[in-house]
Chains A and B, each alone.
Chain A
Amino acid sequence: MRRSEGTYQYDWVTIVVYYALVLIGWIGIYAATYTEGTSYSIFSLDINSGRQLIWVFTSVFLVLAILLVDFRFYEKIAYVFYAAIMIALLLVLIIAREVDGASSWLELGPAKIQPSEFAKYATGLALARFLSSIGGKDLSKRRAIVISTAIVGLPTLLILLQGDAGSALVFVAMILVLYRAGMTPIPIYIGIYLIILFLSSLLVRNLIMVLILSTVTLILVGLSFRNLQRLMLIIIVFVMSLGFIFSVDFIMKDVLKPHQQARVLALVDPSVDPSGKGVSYQTTNSKITIGSGGLTGKGFLQGSLTQGDFVPAQSTDFIFSAIGEEYGWLGSLVLVGLFITLFFRLLFLAERQKSTFARVYGYVVFTVLFTHFTLNIAMTIGLFPVVGIPLPFLSYGGSSLWSFTILLFIFLKLDAHRMQILER
């Protein structure tokens, strides 16, 4: 590589943080699968930690491949790749539905792939290419908004139809990318407002909700009765809010699946499952596992609940509980700190890009990782219903590790060549 020319250099901060996270994850996976009395080493291929090591090593080759490919390649293939993945998603929907409605895996002979994982950067690349193609023009144009929304919306819909609500949420979060690209923030505000309304109507009875809304509306009307336009807006919002409140029941019962309903309810209202042995079993045990870690944790392989297999899926989605128990709050601080460092670095890297393509793609990387991190940690400490979302770089699993690695290193490749954009 031509590092000596100074024109292209990989961001070592990100790479160091990346490997730190992978290492922590690997140790956590060993703790989560280790059983007292058995003598499996951390390298043993009979347990998840040994297999994860294989995924880590193979991902090195993936990284090298990504770095060897010309950086312009990614922009060029963006649409083709996107189209291919969308077809794959459709195929999953058609083929997999016949076998098992909730499956998101596509079986190609002996290999099993999960197109929704690839969809993340396919969508990211396509979105970046599109926003780059409209050049300096911002996203205030209706046509641009519609197309970008469609690029993100299509995979969201297809994945939602697969029944993978967690991954769909990650795509929804790409609204953040559009926001940075200049889209009006109003949809975000509306989204936040609806989430608040949704949760509050689960918490308090509809009648009280109506009373609160009416009071707030009356005050607002009183403050702006001279401004007819604003008055109209307030009343429309009020009427639509009322409609939304009364449709919460419908959403709960008819849109969400029974297990999703239960998880949402258990989160809002602990009395749904007071013993913690029903729907909230996983969350409850995860919280207790993390909570029992104390300030400094119980030590490597000393996490009694981790060793006792009290948290289901601990080496995959609930890997954080193993780290929280064995390394305590200080361990959590280090982990959260590393992620925040990574996010700040990604934002910084994205902002220093000369090309729109690289910048938008950078934001996609940030958004995907940030959403995974937020939802995953929130879910393990009982702030969010359980959705099947892995913790990037830490959770056990080849698919997820490869996918996040590819996502991240394409951006690092683009970043390394950012100076060449000007030369072009």
Chain B
Amino acid sequence: MFKQRVIAIYIVTILVGLTFLIRLFVIQVVDDKYKTEADTRIITPIVEYPYRGLIYDRNEELLVYNEPAYDLMVIRSQAKNIDTLALCDILGITRDDFDQKMKGSHPIRPSLFFEMLSNEEFAVIQDQLIHFPGFFVAPRTVRKYPHQSLAHALGYLAEISKRQLERDTARYYSQGDYVGINGIESEYEASLRGRRGIRHKKVNNRGLITGDFGEGALDSLSVPGDNITLTIDLELQQYAEKLMAGKVGSLVAIEPSTGEILAIVSSPSYDPNLLTGRTFGSNFREIQLDSLKPLFNRPLRARYAPGSMFKTIQSLIALQAGVVTANEQIYSNNQLIGDLAPIGYYDVRKAIQFSSNNYYFKVFRRLINQNKDPNTFIDSRLGLDWWQERVKKFGLGVQLDIDISGAHEGLVPQPKLYDRYYGRNRWKFSNIASLSIGQGELNVTPLQMANLGALLANRGFYYSPHIIKSVGDSDGIPEKYRIKNYVEVDSVHFEPVLDGMELVVKSGSGTRAYMPDIEVCGKTSTVQNSFGEDHSGFMGFAPKDNPQIAIAAYVENASWGGRAAASTASLVMEKYIRGHITRKYLEDYVLKGEFVY
């Protein structure tokens, strides 16, 4: 009876089986969605941080290296029944800190508990760690600076900021990454950082890592960062820093034949080791609050009126323009502008040697009023425009292409500036006469003055000053540092100017820079300072023939240029050329000098 109904039941059974197999075929074989979904659930990428590149000076002296540090990590779920007070004691934190840190940690995944323990701190904690289940250390590195030198040029590392993260369109960085801030660390970040590796780990449903995924087929190895060699001569740098200690100011030394920066000092400075490790934050705040602004990178950002140093540029522009010849005698009765030089006849050499303000007043008037237009207002305007073009060729009023971030371009006034002050065509030479002696609206950075020294030494061109010598294994430096920037003044016009500069050192305002057997060319300047004593500046190079070092030094509030700046610069030049100091008395004078007010 009803045997035919068995057929229906067989059919239902088969249908159910087939439905399942078809459905399973779709989700297991046809549709890839489930495989990708599965991967997102079980794979977690673990970033492997590469070693950051090391930094050396030009003589392969190590400037920056990585020191191991240890992050104390905690897995909260495993940190049970521990002696909280004992741990607080070891770490030197309060019970509140402890609770705060615990609260902020992930319940089951490793979380950072205490950042960057030093080797010594780790040694203390290591033995005790077994008493604190759930706590373990994860190695990392912090930057170390064995010589405590060159802080400003090197820069430092800090946690990436929100703004930087937003600008990182390549999405290389993530929250919590350390990046170079300022200096070499920032400029060569891309080379120094290397390439991060990614390891794929399996996680379980609770997020615990259970092992490697796919035997490393998807993994990428981390590539250590490139080591960088700088043009800095550490010995010279340290000597210059020693001389500048206790003073406010800058010193920049450049090798004229290459544009390589040999030393760059910003004083007061700070120990770069302070801006590393766990105490970064508190140290940074302390340095920041210092009234002498140690974080301010003076050689690149401090701006002064160029003063008498500027007379070299005036001479060269005038000679090239033909408004004056090298031997032309111009009478200076010191009526036009205040002057320390004696009344009498001056040619270029003598004018530089004695820094005759009235000579340059007259020369500058010839440059500005070339009678291109009968209207003296229009003529002055045309003249200034023509003149500022020439000045900019000397690297003033423009950004020098240095590989340390933050260099200021200074100011070479444009006609527009005076138009704003006085109205268009309502100013003439007399309004801008102070530019003739490097005062007025002009301002320059110490770096630009050191570069001026280099281009004078080169008799008419400069390489953009730079601090990089080589990156990684390649000897190459960026192409822009191999280009000669010509100032468009024929080399013949340099001779009288350099003669004048030699005389400055031999028997002028810069005699403190004098060395009996090395011909030093220099020019001092005294920068008027409305807040106190004048700043002292010196720019020059040595030796006169076959120059090896160009230099600019500024010491703030150190009165006239010949005193602190010329002495300091001279000692640095001697140190570089000779390798040792013969004038101990001068060294003592500079080291003793206290120019901080």
Contact = CB atoms under 8 A, between A and B. Distances in A.
A383 B204 CA distance: 26
Nearest to B23: A381
B215 to A, nearest CB: 12
Contacts of B14: 340
Q: Which one of A291, A329, A339 has the highest number of Cβ atoms from chain B below 10 Å of its Cβ? A: A291
A295 interface: yes
A100 B23 CA distance: 38
A166 B34 CA distance: 27
Nearest to B3: A351
B29 A292 contact: no
B16 A308 contact: no
A300 interface: no
A249 interface: no
Given A304-B202, A309-B204, A336 B35 contact: no
Given A289-B38, A347-B9, A381 B27 contact: yes
Contacts of B3: 351
Contact of B13 (A35, A181, A333, A347): A347
A336 to B, nearest CB: 5
A137 to B, nearest CB: 10
Contact of B41 (A35, A308, A332, A370): A308
B331 interface: no
Contacts of B39: 292
A144 to B, nearest CB: 13
A308 B23 contact: no
Contact of A37 (B16, B38, B211): B211
Contact of B6 (A37, A180, A289, A381): A180
Interface string A373-393: 110011001010000000000
A187 interface: no
Contacts, number: 118
B33 interface: yes
A329 B25 contact: yes
B284 interface: no
A182 to B, nearest CB: 5
Contact of A381 (B13, B16, B24): B24
A287 interface: yes
A381 B28 CA distance: 10
A307 B35 contact: no
B102 interface: no
Contact of A308 (B1, B20, B37, B205): B205
B204 A307 contact: yes
B394 to A, nearest CB: 65
A305 interface: yes
Given A36-B211, A181-B2, A344-B13, A308 B42 contact: yes
Contact of B10 (A309, A344, A378): A344
Given A336-B17, A351-B6, A287 B34 contact: yes
A310 interface: yes
A295 B20 contact: no
Contacts of B10: 344, 347
A304 B24 CA distance: 19
A18 interface: no
B20 A377 contact: yes
Contacts of B23: 381, 383
Nearest to B203: A308
Interface residues of B, number: 37
A366 B9 CA distance: 10
B530 interface: no
Contact of A329 (B1, B29, B37, B204): B29
A40 to B, nearest CB: 15
A324 B202 contact: no
B210 interface: yes
A361 B5 CA distance: 17
B21 interface: yes
A309 B205 contact: yes
B210 A36 contact: yes
B206 A309 contact: yes
A288 interface: yes
A329 B24 contact: yes
A301 B428 CA distance: 91
Interface string A178-208: 0111100000000000000000000000000
B168 interface: no
A343 B34 contact: no
Contacts of A339: 17
B7 to A, nearest CB: 10
A304 B42 contact: yes
A305 B38 contact: yes
Contact of B9 (A138, A176, A287, A291): A176
A378 B31 CA distance: 18
B21 A287 contact: no
A294 B35 contact: yes
5 contacts: A176-B9, A290-B34, A332-B21, A343-B13, A347-B10
Given A37-B210, A289-B38, A292-B34, 19 more contacts: A37-B211, A182-B1, A182-B2, A290-B27, A291-B27, A291-B31, A293-B28, A295-B29, A304-B213, A307-B202, A324-B24, A324-B28, A329-B28, A340-B13, A343-B13, A347-B9, A347-B13, A351-B3, A373-B16
What 9 A-B pairs have minimum CB-CB distances, sorted nearest first? A291-B34, A292-B38, A308-B204, A291-B27, A329-B28, A309-B205, A340-B17, A304-B42, A288-B37
Interface of A: 35-37, 136, 138, 176, 179-182, 285, 287-295, 304-305, 307-310, 324, 328-329, 332-333, 336-337, 339-340, 343-344, 347, 351, 366, 370, 373-374, 377-378, 381, 383
